[in-house]
Structure 1
C-alpha cells in the first residue's frame, strides 16, 4: 500500500523518500580540507590499530596464580643498553629496603603500590640521566608499555596498585622463596 498525498496538502513525513539525497561532487569537494594553495587534501584510509590484549584481565589479580618466566625480557638487560628498562627499574626499587617510602610490596602476592609518585618520577629521571625531569604522565606511559609486554598489570591503577604477571626473581638472581620471604 502506497501513501499518496493529496494535491492540496503539503507532503507528509511518510511520503518523503527514505534514502538521503546524494550530494554532487562540487558540494563534496567544498567540504574537504584544503591545502594553502586551495587544492583539496586527499585523506588516507584509516588503518586498524593492532590491539594487544593480554591473557589477564586488567584489574583482576590472583596472588595464587602461577607466574611464567619470560626470558625474552632478559635480552634487554644483557645487551649492554645504557638505558634501564622501566620494569627492571621498578623491580630494583622494590627490593631496595631504603626505597620503601616510595614504592613497596602490598604483601598480596607480587602486588605493589606506589606511595610517592613524585619521588618515583624524580628517581626515574635521574636513572635516565635526563636534564629535565619527567612528568608523572610519562611514567604512566611506561607502565602502559609494561602492560603490553605483560610484565605487570594494573590492579587498581587509580590508587597506583600494580602486580607482576611474569616471574621477576629470574631477572634479579633470587630464588622464588627468597622474594616471598622478603615481601612478608
Structure 2
C-alpha cells in the first residue's frame, strides 16, 4: 500500500505503478499520473512494460547497462524507429519492386503480397506506381509500437536479446 506525501512535491517517482492491478485500477492510476502532470509536477514512471507507458508518457529516459541510452520524446523515438518505412500491398510485387528500386527505394518482400519500402515517402510511392500502371490495394506508413522502438534502440545495450520465434531455454 502506498500513500501520497502530505506536501506537494514538484517531482514524483513511481516504480511499476500498475503492476498487479486490474483494468479499473490501471485506469485510475493513469488518470492520477496525468492529473499530477497537469498540475505542473514532474512525474517519473519506471516500468518494464512499454505498453504501460505508450499512452501516457511525453518523454522517455532509457538506461541500459548503467548508461544513458536515450533522453527523448516518445514521438521522436517512434519516428526514428519507423525509419521512414512504408508497407505496400500489391499483387504485382515484381513490377512494384522494379519501379520503386529505379526511384532509389530499398524494397524488401515482407509477407505474401506485402512489400516494405524505405527511402521514398508514401506520396511518391503512390505517384510512381500509379504512373507506371502498377495496381496496389493498400499503403501505410510503418508505425512501430513503443516496445518495438525500445527493442531497436536497446539492441546493442542489453545482456540478453530476444530472438523472434524461439523459446527461451
Larger Rg: 1
Normalising by structure 1, report the TM-score.
0.19
Whose strand fraction is larger, Structure 1's or Structure 2's?
2
Normalising by structure 2, report the TM-score.
0.20
